[in-house]
Structure 1
Amino acid sequence: MKISTALDKIDEYQLFVPAFQREYVWKRDDAKQLVDSLIKEYPTGTMLTWETNNPPELKGPYKYDEKQGAVRILLDGQQRLTTLYMLIRGQIPPYYTAPEILNDTRGLHVNVETLELEYYSKTKMANDPRWQNITDVFQRKVRAKDIVRDLEKKGDEVSRERDDLLDDNTRAIENILDREFPEQTVPVKATVREAIDIFYKVNASGVSLTDAELALAQISGYWPEARDIFKRKLSELQGKGYVFKLDFIVYVLLGCLYHLGSDMKKLHGPENNETIRDAWKLLDEQVLDYVASIMRSHAFVDHTDEINSVYALVPIIVYCFDKGGQHLNDYEIRKLVKWFYYSQIRSRYVNQLPQKLDRDLRTIKEAENAFDELLAVIKEERRLEITPDEFVGRSISHPLFGLVRWYLKSKGAFCFTTGVKLRQAMGEKYKLENDHIFPFSRLKALGYGRENRLKYSLAQELTNRAILTQFANRSKGAMTAKDYLGAVKERFPDVLALQCIPEDPELWEIENYEGFLQARRKKLSEDLNAFLEGITETKPPAVPITLEEMIAEGEGEELEFKSSLRWDFVEGSVNKKLEDVVVKTIAAFANGQGGTLLIGVQDDGEVLGLEGDYHALGEADRDKFELHLRNILNKSFGTSFVASRVRVSFPSVGDTEICQLDIQSSAKPLVITVKDKNGQTQEKFYVRSGNSSQEISLSEMQSYLAERFRA
């Protein structure tokens, strides 16, 4: 079949890609090599098709109509044909959508004189008319004589031979469309099951598909919708920061059904049809979301980018699956979190993945204390204790940095500049980044550049990193460590300790850089070992009061309700003066023994929620509300106080979300500035009196301050 014919059949809905095929995974280098081979007339493989009037589930939105009669199903050659479609048509083929194309191979350019292939580079191609988008060449939009004219305008002399070469090369590329793409066909009488078996046999001996991908193809044979169903769940999890590939789901299913990480053929047979659907129902509706919640709330994993190997989640998922979706108790959770941390820093699944999963999943099935035994397995192979030497020359790509990050989150560490907690980064502006404490530009001047590999590794060592928001990182610049850390400590006295940074100013001098590294390695190793050991320390379970019980008790000296931040429910409009009332309440709590403010709860305890405030902020959401609230608080009290003394959270009462502010007692008097009815600013000092916030008169203030803030 000619290449042009194959593309036409795709456009005419006569050639389809079955749903059981894997996604488009080729990259730009693959596309370049394919076109290079076609230009040089090298073999480029064959195409395996199946002509049938009973096709399986198809990729894309198109639904087969039996009135069409027989159509062709592409069993092998999808990567090549999809690449050619995008390069020749300049569009994504109809069986894919743009988000499904992870590597867009369009935009390939060709030098029509040398036939060199490259993706667009402005410096190389902008002023050289020989470089043309190959899609334009395929579509006959490029003429050799136009290139010659443009070259001559630039002052290049174009000989007759050169003119002919440009013309010959242009036509040679155009003629690729007439090249035969050798086609092998599966007989019309073949069933869907037989077609999938042929697909499997064609791919099983090669390296193009993994065992998991081949297993997924077989699953799609007896459960045609499986791939799309799995992809919907993956998309849902991705929205929560947990990004997985389809093969991860296959490993999970194999683990749940057979407690294996290898022998994917066990999933091939249609006898799995009912059991795999039942297993998926439990995974989809309960287990996967539950595990994601555990990892976020107890292991402080906010995104799978932070994880060294996501396959460490497979035993955890299988363990929860074996519990029938029931919630784990606190001690079980702490044990699995501890094992997870060690699986990451000791690279449990970096190699021999199927074999190690076999052993670990068998332990999950058979052992009474599964995660204790799994931890013992790691201990057999690697030392558990973290030593200072392990940090030497290790960059942020090392698994230890992931553990450092989770540990800092667990401590409530926050950004040096913005005061935003590492767990509360909001939006792209406050995305977390890993910044050099000692700027590389200054270290490079002292010989820590790339020319000295050992010293360069020390400059990039993870112990020379602090975790900041993107906003803070951009504003920091190349300040010296001494100036930078000194300013940070003055502004936020506790923040360096929270990020395990040595506080001896002598170590901040650049000539003492390696001494700084040694001190931080020691500090981190000690703290991380204590952190890991402490995870499973037995503690008497606390029985905290529920939010509903707190509201039912009503307002008091340490609890106050506010209907909203700025939405006036009586007037039905925005009332910014309500923000001043919130500020006054926080000041009163801070000047006393601390307390809790609930926004979205009426004085009588009726839960109103935050929808009024969201509307008042321009149809906002929680993130915008929190950002607005923090801006008010930072302006009124200063970033240091807010970061260290105010905790903002958004619990739900039933299905209604409210805002909870937990305010700690201030270490020094907190005076706020307010405007009177004439617009004049005045300083006020508020305290709690029963269930309300009251201003103290000047005559009372002196004795109160002496008692409350005495040294």
Structure 2
Amino acid sequence: MSKQPKPDSKKYIDLISEIQKGQIKVPKFQRNFVWSLDKTAKLLDSILKSYPIGTFILWETNERLNDIKNIGNLELPAIPDGTKVQYVLDGQQRITSLYSAFLGAQIKKEGEKKITDYANIFVDLEGDVENNDEQIVVSEEPEGIFITLHEILNFNDHFLEIKEKYSDEHLKKIHLYSQAFSTYDFSTIVLRKEDIDSAIEVFTRINTGGQTLTLFEIISAKTYDEEQKFDMEDKFRKLMETLTERKYNGISSSVILSILSLVLSKNKECKRKTILQLEKQSIIDTWDNVISALKESIDYFRSVYRIPVSAILPYDSLLVPFAYFFYYQKEKPKGEQVKYLEEFFWRISLSSRYSSSTESRLARDVKRIDEILKGNRPNYDDIKVDLNSPKDLIETSFSAGSSYCKAVLCLLAYHEPKDFQDNGRVILDNSWLKIANSKNFHHFFPKAYLRKNNIGNENSLVNISLVSADLNKRKIKAKAPSVYVQDFLDENYELPTTLKSHLIEDLDAFGLKSDDYLVFLEKRADIMFKELKDRIDLRHKEDRKEDDLRELISRIEDEKLEMKSTLRFDLLEGSINKKLEYVVAKTISAFLNSEGGTLIIGVDDDGNILGLEKDMETLSKQNSDGFELHLRQVIKKYLGENYEKYLKISFPKIEDKEICLIKISKSGKPVFVNFEGNESFFVRIGNSSIPKNRQEQSEYEKLHWN
């Protein structure tokens, strides 16, 4: 058991001298100087009357903490090299008041517009210092004869001026008061043997009545290093500035500490106790890599999951396991990892996973990430996902702070919702998404309309859409969907396509034209449920994909679908036939020039699954990567560049055979096929790719793109 430290004392002038020499400092984890002029005056009045004002607790050390460099606009002296320093653990407001009063400083405090002038503290020379009820040191000029406190505290420096201004009787009193201040013993306890952890523990315990020290402030204090120019608070501030550009500035400092702890601690934990035990140098050495991994996670969320802002993240702690992934794997997820990470994200998001016991659950979840890093699917038996039927979604009341609701908002954001009016992308903003009545949250059936017609459940989660900020107030208001949808149809002929980006497939079927709210909820909930189910159940997703693919293949070729047996291998001739590549390019161009469509390679006209084996045998790289590379080269050869953004190429398996599925969107401009120096223009009519002559092409362009 350590010995109790013995109290000591310091004189006023000694306190000031040590502050001016940089030997007494206020650590940055202390709160800002907030005492008013009046409170400072009362403190000095107590000293004048020899009242006790409490003990200053100081920690003497050779370590260098991040200290307060100024009080408002008043710069504090730097710490001399090679000397010990005493950090104020208790008494910061009092010591700062004493220093400001001694200097008669003019201070502009943080968050305040006016300057506080500490020369404007006065001592009433006609007051009775023996009267406990009478305040002698005051913050306003008293009536009668008075002197500034600054002059008394600096009596020797101002003696000649004081002697000329005051009578002998008042001069005697001024000298007496000056002596009272200069001889006052300030009680101090100096901790000399404690390490930084013990010093911080002392601060935390004695500061129970004030501002609680956060874990981040403690670690910032522990890791501050002038030589290595490491200031965690400053680095975090700059990080937030960077993340503001990405619209992910809502990330808490605990996210950083959790990542650091999970990658540095032997047991891969991020409990408070574990974080406090992390070594200073390890944190400094690891910081940049952790921040890089965090940024990779954010970019992954933005690009792959299409979550544009941090405000709709179910938990910002979700970034922790993903940053852990990117810390250990510098390259992007590949193969099965992509699917496993997606499943992880949605299972966590829809399970209230991080609503409590976050630290222990993060520790368990990074073990799941370890499995994904190895290419294995983790086990989720201990995580219950709250998604049993579409009815669950309908009966969930929307709340902007609910992690479950935020997960559904992430689903809506994934589809990159378009503006009802002009089909432009809906811009989401963190500042608008923090509250339930945000401008970005639109009740598709307006609440006022539903209430007016006595229709309940108006705040159903399924009724929420993400729209541009001013659309609700300016255009929609309390109108029935049948009314405002028609208004938008008059302005935006692509509105049916626009609504699909809001998971609304059809105006009639979804009850919009008939204002049937129950039908709307049922239809939209079905789509939401299926999409969410796909994301949390890989087997369900794969089964449904195969069913959808079989259904697609079973269809007869039409203006939106064509199937090709091969890309380049002639099954009749048993050899490569490059004219087949031209036919594929021609088909793609026709879809691009029309309303888009799907081209399947590896399936014949009768729907028989042939696979890509024969084509792959003709390539130097005989796998799907090699096939896709060659296909893109064919497209570039015949159609030119700049069309890849309209193509989505995948290689699903069916009947254990790999086929090529090409989903083609409508091009934003005419696409020509260049064959042997001649350009041709094709469009899709029925199940054929039909050429157009120059005149037909010109007329078609006017109708199709203008």
Shorter-chain TM-score: which interval?
0.5 to 0.7
Corresponding residue number in structure 2 for 1:303: 309
1:293 is aligned to 2:299? yes
CA positional deviation for 1:409: 3.7
Corresponding residue number in structure 1 for 2:352: 347
What letter is aligned with 2:254? D
1:562-577, aligned counterparts within 5 Å? none
Corresponding residue number in structure 2 for 1:452: none
CA positional deviation for 1:593: 9.1
Partner Cα separation in structure 2 for residue 432 and residue 558 of structure 1: 47
CA positional deviation for 1:334: 2.7
CA contact (8 A) 2:307 2:410 kept: yes
What SS does the corresponding residue of 1:373 show, helix, strand or coil? coil
Corresponding residue number in structure 2 for 1:433: 440
Corresponding residue number in structure 1 for 2:255: 248
What letter is aligned with 2:26? V
Partner Cα separation in structure 1 for residue 141 and residue 88 of structure 2: 24
Partner Cα separation in structure 1 for residue 413 and residue 702 of structure 2: 32
1:536-575, aligned counterparts within 5 Å? 537=542
What letter is aligned with 1:387? P
Partner Cα separation in structure 2 for residue 174 and residue 9 of structure 1: 31
1:499 is aligned to 2:502? yes
Select which of 305, 319, 322 maps to 1:316. 322
1:214-237 deviation digits (Å, cap 9, x = unpaired) = 445444489863443444334433
Select which of 401, 405, 413 maps to 2:409. 405
What SS does the corresponding residue of 2:511 show, helix, strand or coil? helix
CA contact (8 A) 1:363 1:374 kept: yes
Q: 1:78 to 1:512 in 2, by over 3 A?
A: farther
Select which of 47, 52, 57 maps to 2:66. 57
CA positional deviation for 1:311: 1.2
Corresponding residue number in structure 1 for 2:525: 521
What SS does the corresponding residue of 2:381 show, helix, strand or coil? helix
What letter is aligned with 1:296? R
CA contact (8 A) 2:315 2:403 kept: no
Select which of 80, 83, 86 maps to 1:66. 80
CA positional deviation for 1:349: 0.6
Corresponding residue number in structure 1 for 2:131: none
Give me the TM-score of the superposition, normalised by structure 2.
Answer: 0.54
Q: Radius of gyration: which is bigger? A: 2
Corresponding residue number in structure 1 for 2:688: none
Partner Cα separation in structure 1 for residue 116 and residue 368 of structure 2: 59
Partner Cα separation in structure 2 for residue 494 and residue 213 of structure 1: 50
CA contact (8 A) 1:482 1:508 kept: yes
What SS does the corresponding residue of 1:73 show, helix, strand or coil? strand
Corresponding residue number in structure 2 for 1:664: 666
CA positional deviation for 1:9: 10
CA positional deviation for 1:360: 2.3
Q: 1:389 to 1:339 in 2, by over 3 A?
A: same
What letter is aligned with 1:701? Q
> Which 10-residue stretch deviates more, 368-377 or 472-481?
368-377
Unaligned 5+ runs, structure 2: 1-9, 47-51, 71-75, 122-133, 143-148, 151-180, 547-581, 598-642, 648-663, 683-691
Partner Cα separation in structure 2 for residue 385 and residue 339 of structure 1: 18
1:631-642, aligned counterparts within 5 Å? none
Corresponding residue number in structure 2 for 1:264: 272
1:320-339, aligned counterparts within 5 Å? 320-323=326-329, 325-339=330-344
1:338-372 deviation digits (Å, cap 9, x = unpaired) = 21122122111111112212322344457886884
1:387 is aligned to 2:390? yes
What SS does the corresponding residue of 1:74 show, helix, strand or coil? strand
CA contact (8 A) 2:444 2:464 kept: yes
CA contact (8 A) 1:49 1:183 kept: no
Partner Cα separation in structure 1 for residue 187 and residue 82 of structure 2: 22
Corresponding residue number in structure 2 for 1:418: 422
Corresponding residue number in structure 2 for 1:356: 361
Partner Cα separation in structure 2 for residue 330 and residue 410 of structure 1: 21
What letter is aligned with 2:362? L
Q: 1:441 to 1:73 in 2, by over 3 A?
A: same
CA contact (8 A) 2:325 2:373 kept: no
Corresponding residue number in structure 2 for 1:614: none
Corresponding residue number in structure 2 for 1:91: 108
Partner Cα separation in structure 2 for residue 7 and residue 396 of structure 1: 55
CA positional deviation for 1:467: 1.3
1:224-283 deviation digits (Å, cap 9, x = unpaired) = 63443444334433432223232221111111112544443344457x244333432422
Partner Cα separation in structure 1 for residue 196 and residue 360 of structure 2: 32
CA contact (8 A) 2:61 2:85 kept: yes
CA positional deviation for 1:65: 4.0
CA contact (8 A) 1:407 1:531 kept: no
Corresponding residue number in structure 2 for 1:573: none
Q: 1:205 to 1:313 in 2, by over 3 A?
A: farther
1:485 is aligned to 2:479? no
What SS does the corresponding residue of 1:56 show, helix, strand or coil? coil
CA contact (8 A) 2:417 2:466 kept: no
CA contact (8 A) 2:462 2:521 kept: yes
Partner Cα separation in structure 1 for residue 412 and residue 97 of structure 2: 45
1:129-163 deviation digits (Å, cap 9, x = unpaired) = xxxx9x9899979xxxxxxxxxxxxxxxxxxxxxx
What letter is aligned with 1:517? L
Q: How many residue pairs are counted as aligned between the two chains?
A: 500
Partner Cα separation in structure 2 for residue 90 and residue 474 of structure 1: 46
CA contact (8 A) 2:252 2:316 kept: no
1:466 is aligned to 2:465? yes
What SS does the corresponding residue of 2:420 show, helix, strand or coil? coil
Please report the RMSD computed on the Cα atoms of aligned residues, expressed in angstroms. 6.1
Partner Cα separation in structure 1 for residue 532 and residue 542 of structure 2: 15
1:549-576 deviation digits (Å, cap 9, x = unpaired) = xxxxxxx9999xxxxxxxxxxxxxxxxx
Partner Cα separation in structure 1 for residue 244 and residue 531 of structure 2: 32
Partner Cα separation in structure 2 for residue 84 and residue 432 of structure 1: 50
CA positional deviation for 1:288: 2.2
What letter is aligned with 1:349? Y
CA positional deviation for 1:376: 3.4
Corresponding residue number in structure 2 for 1:564: none
Overall identity of the aligned pairs, in % = 20
Q: 1:371 to 1:307 in 2, by over 3 A?
A: farther
CA contact (8 A) 1:16 1:58 kept: yes
CA positional deviation for 1:509: 7.1
CA positional deviation for 1:300: 1.4
Q: 1:262 to 1:65 in 2, by over 3 A?
A: closer
CA positional deviation for 1:516: 3.2
Q: 1:469 to 1:292 in 2, by over 3 A?
A: same
CA contact (8 A) 2:417 2:498 kept: yes
What letter is aligned with 1:337? E
CA contact (8 A) 2:352 2:403 kept: yes
Partner Cα separation in structure 2 for residue 487 and residue 316 of structure 1: 44
Partner Cα separation in structure 2 for residue 411 and residue 58 of structure 1: 48
Q: 1:68 to 1:273 in 2, by over 3 A?
A: closer
Q: 1:517 to 1:191 in 2, by over 3 A?
A: closer
Partner Cα separation in structure 1 for residue 532 and residue 33 of structure 2: 39
Q: 1:588 to 1:327 in 2, by over 3 A?
A: closer
Q: Which has the higher helix share?
A: 1
What SS does the corresponding residue of 1:66 show, helix, strand or coil? coil
> Which 10-residue stretch deviates more, 244-253 or 355-364?
355-364
CA contact (8 A) 2:342 2:535 kept: no
